[in-house]
Structure 1
Amino acid sequence: LDDSEDSDDDLEEGEERVHDKSTPPGSSDKFYARNASNGVENEAGNRDVSPNMSLSLEKPMEDLIKVESSLYDELSVFAETIDLWDKDPAYIANKASAKVVSKFFASSNSNNALPEVLQFQNFLLNNGGRTGGWTDFNHQTFLKIRRRYLPRNLKKICSVPDNLRDQFLQEVTSALYLNSIERAHDHDVWFVTLNKLELLSKNAMKKFKTCHKITPSVEETGTQIRPKLTSERSLDRSQKRDQIIAWREAKQRELDQKLEEERRRMEEQQRIEELKRQKRVKELKSRMEEYRLRRESLGEVKAGSHQIHERIMNSSKKTLTELDKKRINERNSHLIQLQIRRKLAKSRKQQESQDRINRANSKFRVEVKRDPDRAMGHTELWKLRMQDLKEEKVQASRLQPTAMRILSDRPQRAVPEWRRQITAT
């Protein structure tokens, strides 16, 4: 059991070294920092080209180049992720490596190991090792995101709070380009179970050590004396120790080889991406130069056409101004002549009328014997008729009673509609 405990601790330390060495500094933030670095490089490349362009087109072109570069990088990462989906899943490879790692413990320590330790080792063996079937980069990214959503007062064995769980799973799925959100949920459940089993295993081993430290003191109180280890058992322990040392060396060599291959692969990938980026920058520079030359040629043509148009407009304005002046003068002279003719005609007409009146007065003399206003007054017959009507009215009013006379003298008005209906019924 002591050997199995030491080997478990060594296995955990080796796996931690794998997590620390397999990802070079800054590689876990590769996806998040790539867009910013490419945007800065593209902006520096654009500053070399854009000073020759007009002020109105400088900022929009820089923004378009930044957006295009970021989209190109994101599509490249997404294409790599799709290629990984098409290949064998990393879960199978990690599960196979976990079987190789745990083969020694399963064969040598299955009889004398604690149940909690065996349960923890079997869980690692059947569920893809320390990364749960994921790659080191994806698992470390998952842990970074999980630490941000997990409060500080909670331990690793606790799950993400329910109010933040959906947001946490959605961010993991989008950051790692997973097929579905269920994969992120399963990995989170696996990680919580792993921490719980690991804690149980460590507690059981501590309890076992404490019991074995106390047991000799209890036995010393009695008359019994603990016998020494036999030579056969010591030989067995030395052989196991040699096997553990050999396994450690082989595992270290394997880890170093994997790290070296991963480093070479990443360097090659970075070199290819750098070549692609440089090629893309050259294409953009050539397109920008071509666009600038085309804009300059169009500007020259436009300036020439504008000058020609201005000359035509100036000459036409002069011609139109002269024509307008001539037309205005002609109209004014015509109006003046027309007014003079009208005045002459009016004065001539008045003179003719006065001449006719004078001739008529000189030829005829009119003498009126009666009053002309009599034709507009009342005739004698009409005056008599009106007088008779007044006398009849006065005589009729004398014959009527006083009350009827008052009512009859009042001005008559039209009968309302409601009164007509009452009288009709």
Structure 2
Amino acid sequence: MMMNKVHLQDAFTQAEEEKMVYAQQRRREMQLLNGRIKAIRASVDQLMQHVQHPQSGHTYIDTLKRLMETIESDMIVFKQSQRDQYDQLLQEEKKLMQEIATMEEHVAGWEHQSAHENNLYEPVSDQPTAIKKRGSVDPQSQLLPEVVAFQDYLARHGGHSGGWDDLMHNSFVKLRQKHKANSATFFSNIVSAISGVTLEEATAHERWYRGYCKLRDARKAAIERWKKRKAALLAKQAELLERKAEKTEKGQEVNKEEETRLREEKKKEIERWKDAQKQKAEKAQRTAQEEAQRQKEAQKRWKQDHEKVKHKVTEYVQRRSHEQALLKQVEQEAKRIREAARCEVGEEDLKRLAQRNEELSMKKRQLMEAKAQEEEMKQRRIEKLRASVESMITVDRDPDRVLRPTEAMKKKVQAPKDVAEIVKGKFRPPMIPKRHVPNWRQGV
């Protein structure tokens, strides 16, 4: 008793410590979540301030665009991280629920072990047997070893799906039935068909599934053997009861009614056991049908969620395209306004331009008149000089002189024809220097 109390105290202490650790973890997550929300809210406030105080120019539009893109990216990252955390929590919750269900099966198997089922394993004897105490029976020893091994295997490895999601595990089983487990393409198909699963995880799940199938078949065979032994024991007990009834009829006519009553009770008990087995089989069938229905609904929900995400992505793309079109339209309108502002001229500017044009026209006319007068004076001087030259020089015109050879050409034609003599008379070859040899060296 003291050891049990100490064990319970240690368990409570450990539970309190884990509770404090999880509470601190939740507080840290809450602080981080509040910080990210405050950052997004600050960006939204900054965007509202810019919208409430509009300005002209590309800088204002670029700032608005940058703020909107920053807020949008922060919100997308925030939603995706929260979605991932939520999915992880759901997987952990599902795994814990599977472990709890396995433990509940253990407890239910221990609690629903009735006294008359224990008596079926004991041989029928005429000698009275001692009544066993309720607390002295080990519930674990009442279960079959194969059943205990299978339940322990499920508890240690995350239930009937090995810690995987039901959809992922069902896809794995379908691919395993389609392909051979030892084929070269089996694991590659698993990795390509099931998202988020690596080759190591697929190999480990295959090893787990082989052990699962082995223990499941062993449990099924053990249960069948147990049922046969139980049926044999029931038949043997019924036979012994019949023999005892016959012996009682022959030797003890007084207890005939009592024995008949006991026999009927035993028959009723056997009928109740058969009904219980039938109900258990029907319950297992209903459970399998409900599980199939849940899987079908989960697949349907997954498809609906996928369609929603696809619809949201389409809306996001359309919204971005619409925003870009509006932004382009705003830029074009701003450009048109700037060009219109440059083209607008005031009344005073028009007067000043008209006066300036008139002055320029007057100056241009004056320059043209001065140039015309200068040209007229130049023509007068040229005419005067031409008249004076014509009166002093008289030359006969001879247009054929252009086609006759010149005097230089005539002399060249009349010159000597021996070119070599001319060149020889004018050519003086240079003296080639030589090294002088002293007299004392000559003849050596």
Task: State the TM bucket, normalised to the shorter chain.
Answer: 0.3 to 0.5
Scaled by the length of structure 1, the TM-score of the pair is 0.37
Scaled by the length of structure 2, the TM-score of the pair is 0.35
Higher relative contact order (CA 8 A, sep 6+): 1
